[in-house]
Amino acid sequence: MALFDPERKRVVIRVVYDGPGHAGKTTNLRRLCKSFASWRRSEMVSPNTVGERTQYFDWLEVDGGLLQGYPVRAQLLTVPGQIELRLRRAFVIERADVVVFVADSQPGAVAEARGFYAELCEQLAGFEHVVPIVFQANKQDVAGALKPPELARRVCEGLRTPAQVSGAVATTDRGVKQTLTIALRLASEQLRKRWSGEDPRSKIGDVGDADT
């Protein structure tokens, strides 16, 4: 949930990257860490990572424009992709302002992605406020990869329709920053609706950091 940081006088928005293991969530954050100048981002933190598997989350903060006249600081988090760690995943998603669902574009990965997407939709349905979903069809460079609209159709059919669909090749930077831009725009639009007529400075709370 977005909050106002009175010490730094900025709005803090949380963007959660969700999806199955090996879909490219961590790769997205690594690419973003490289693409932002050091003065516009934090260091990337990945506590207790085992090999390439995220055990808790990856954490990166970047500057993200303005909201109602105040600078935006975006907290980007990934969730663990292992099914047995679904409780940790749900905990990270709890405070999301927008979710980027990262899916492997190969046909053989559709069934697993659909299961993860169904769980995400079920959790977000219990929220009091609307949390937009950006569907990222990653690994578009792989032979036989489904086009983004077709992949989204197969994964999301009968479930919640994502607010926007984008293609990406996170290993080469393609579509990575564009996906984040879309996510921040959608989150900002929702916050303007929720905070209509309210001063962002009234939304003070514990914005948190990677340690807490």
Tens of pLDDT, residue by residue over 14-65, are 999 999 989 999 999 999 999 999 999 989 987 655 455 445 678 899 998 8
Closest-CA residue to 114 (of 95, 135, 88, 144):
135
47: which DSSP letter?
A: T
> What pLDDT is stored for residue 52 in this prediction?
52
pLDDT (tens digit, 9 = 90+) per residue, 1-15?
A: 788 899 999 999 999
> For 50, phi and psi rounded to 5 degrees?
-110, 105
What is the model's pLDDT at position 2? 87
Point out the least confidently predicted range of 77-91, 99-113, 114-128. Answer: 77-91
Q: What is the pLDDT of residue 48?
A: 59
- In the predicted model, is pLDDT for residue 188 greater than 60? yes
pLDDT band at 174 (very low <50, low <70, confident <90, very high): very high
Encoded amino acid at 203, one letter: K
CA angle 13, 85, 55 (to 5 degrees): 70
The CA-to-CA distance between both ends of the chain, in Å, stands at 16
Q: Which residues, in sequence order, are CB contacts of 151 under 8 Å at separation 6+?
A: 103, 105, 110, 135, 137, 145
Residue 41 CB contacts under 8 Å (≥ 6 apart), including other chains: 32, 33, 60, 61, 62, 63
Residue percentage of the chain with pLDDT more than 90: 67
Strands (E), the chain: 3-5, 10-18, 59-67, 70-78, 98-104, 133-138, 164-167
Note the pLDDT of residue 196: 87
